[in-house]
Amino acid sequence: MNEAVKKAFDVIVVGGGNAALCAALSAREQGSSVLMLERAPREERGGNSTYTDGLMRVVYEGADDIRAFAPDLTDAEMSVSDFGSYTESDFFDDMARITQYRTDPDLCEILVKRSKETLLWMKDQGVRFMPNFGRQAFLVDGRFKFWGGATIVVASGGPGLVDSLYLRAEKNGVEIAYEAWVKDLLHDSDGVKGVVARVDGREMEIRGTSVVLACGGFEANAEWRTKYLGPGWDLAKVRGSRFNTGDGLAMALKLGAQPFGHWSGCHATAWERYASDFGDMAVTPQYQRHSYPFAVVVNSDGVRFIDEGADFRNYTYAKYGQAVLQQPGQVAWQIYDAKTNHLLRDEYRTRHVTKVSADTIEQLADKLEEVNRDQFLRTIREFNAAVQDDVPFDPNVKDGRGAPGLPVPRSNWACKIDTAPFEAYAVTCGVTFTFGGVKITNEGEVLNTGLERISGLFAAGEMVGGIFYFNYPGASGLTSGAVFGRLAGRNAADFAKRQKVERPSNLKYA
C-alpha cells in the first residue's frame, strides 16, 4: 500500500508531469499538505513532459536575461551568440497569428506575462536551463544567431526537467503515490472533496480540500481521438505517455465542467513511419523528423502537399502531422540532397529511421517503390526549375529563397534537389497533445456549464482549453503547463486555507 494515501490533504494533484509538479510545488510553498497521484509507475513517471526536448518559450529582453536563466553560460559562449530578444509583444503576436486569433485573451496574457517569472522560479526549484545551440541557432560565420522565439531549453531535456522537479518535490515534502489511477471526484453540493483512486489494486476515497487536475489530454485514447479529432486519427502514433487517456477531462465533464477550446484540434508532427504506437523513452527521441524546412516532402502520389518553408519549424511542425495523416496510407517522404544533409537534426542519424539513399535521383525514385515514380521525378524537376537561385540561402532567417509558381508554392529555404547523395525519410503522423479542455477562471478554477466555479476544483496543463487552436508556437506547451500549474497550485492552496474544515481521520473504501 502506498503510505502517502492514508490521510487527508489540503491539496490533491492528479497527474505527474510538468504542470502537476509545478502545481504541487507551488501549493507546498503556501504551506499546504500536498499529495500527488501519478497513474504511471515510477519508471514511466512524468507524462508527456518526459518525452519532450525540454524547450520552453519565454519572454526575454536580451543577453542579460539569458544569463539569468542559464548562469552556467561561459563568457566564450556568450561572445559567439546573438540571442536577440523575444518580447511580450512578440509572444502575443505569435500566439495570435498561429492560433488564427482564437486564443483566449485572458489566458494568453497570463501565459505571456508570467513566462519569465515562472522559468526563473523553476530555476530556483533546481531546473537547469541553457540556450538551445544547434537546434534554434546554426553556426554561421562563427556566430550562433537564435531564431523562432524558442531559445531556452532544459539542459537534460524532458527527463531532466521531470527528475529535477520530482527531486525538489520530494525534498519539499510533497507526498507522491505512483500507480495511483484516479477514477472519479468526490463531491457534494458544496464542491469537490477529494478523489476516488485505484491504488495498489484497491479502490479508495482520498479526501482533499481542493483538487488540481493536471493529468493530460486524450491523445492516448484512440476512441476519443476518432470521436473528437475525426476519422483516421485512430491510426496516428502517440508521441508521449500511454496514460493520457482523458481521465481528468471525463471526471470534470461528469461534474458539469464547461468544455472549452479546440476539441477537434491537436498538436501533431511528422514522425518516424514505423515508430512504436506509444512513447518509449529508449527510442522516442529518435523518432522526430523536424528538418523538413530544408526538404522536399512528397506523398505516395509523388506530389508535394505542404509549403515546407512556410515558416520556421517552430511555427509549422505542430500542424504538419495532420497534413501527413491526410495523405494516402498516412505516409510521406522527406527528400534531401548533399547541400542540406549537414543541417539534419541528430535523430536522422540513428538506427531508428526508415531511410532510402541513392547516388542519382532516378535511383532514389526506383527505391521509393510505393511512390509514383514518374510523378515524383516530374515534381523534383518542376521544383528545381522554380527555385530562386539568386536569393542567398540562410537557415537562421526566413530568407525568402522560394520556389513560386508551383501548385504548392515554397516560401523559404528552397534548394534544388540535384547534388548526390540523395536521401529520403519516411514519416507518418505523431500526435503529441490535444487542444480541447475545460474552461477555467484566471485563478485556475474550473467553471461549470453555467459558468459558475466548481468549488475546490482546479486544472492545469493539457486540461486547460482555450489556449491553442489549429496550431501552436513551438515550445509554448511546457511553458503553459508550468505557468498554469504554478497558478493552479497556489490558488488551490489558498482555497484550502480558506475552508478550515475538519478533516476525517481515516479513509472510506469504495
Domains and CATH numbers, the chain: 3-264+435-499 (3.50.50.60), 266-431 (3.90.700.10)
pLDDT at 211 over 50: yes
pLDDT at 218 over 70: yes
Per-residue pLDDT averaged across 88-108, rounded? 97
Indicate the pTM of the whole model: 0.92
pLDDT digits (tens, 9 = 90+) for 239-279: 999 999 999 999 999 999 999 999 999 999 999 999 999 99
385: Cβ contacts below 8 Å, ≥ 6 apart: none
Residue 235, pLDDT score = 96
How many CB atoms are located within 10 Å of the residue 375 CB? 16
Taken as a whole, the chain contains a residue count of 510
Residue 97, pLDDT score = 96
Please state, in angstroms and rounded to a whole number, the distance separating the CA atoms of residues 312 and 308.
Answer: 9
Residue 504, pLDDT score = 42
Evaluate whether 46 touches 162 at the Cβ level (below 8 Å). yes
pLDDT at 507 over 50: no
pLDDT at 510 over 90: no
* Helix intervals (H) in 236-372: 247-254, 317-325, 361-367
- Nearest CA to 132 out of 155, 115, 116 is that of 155
pLDDT digits (tens, 9 = 90+) for 149-182: 899 999 999 999 999 999 999 999 999 999 999 9
pLDDT digits (tens, 9 = 90+) for 40-65: 999 999 999 999 999 999 999 999 99
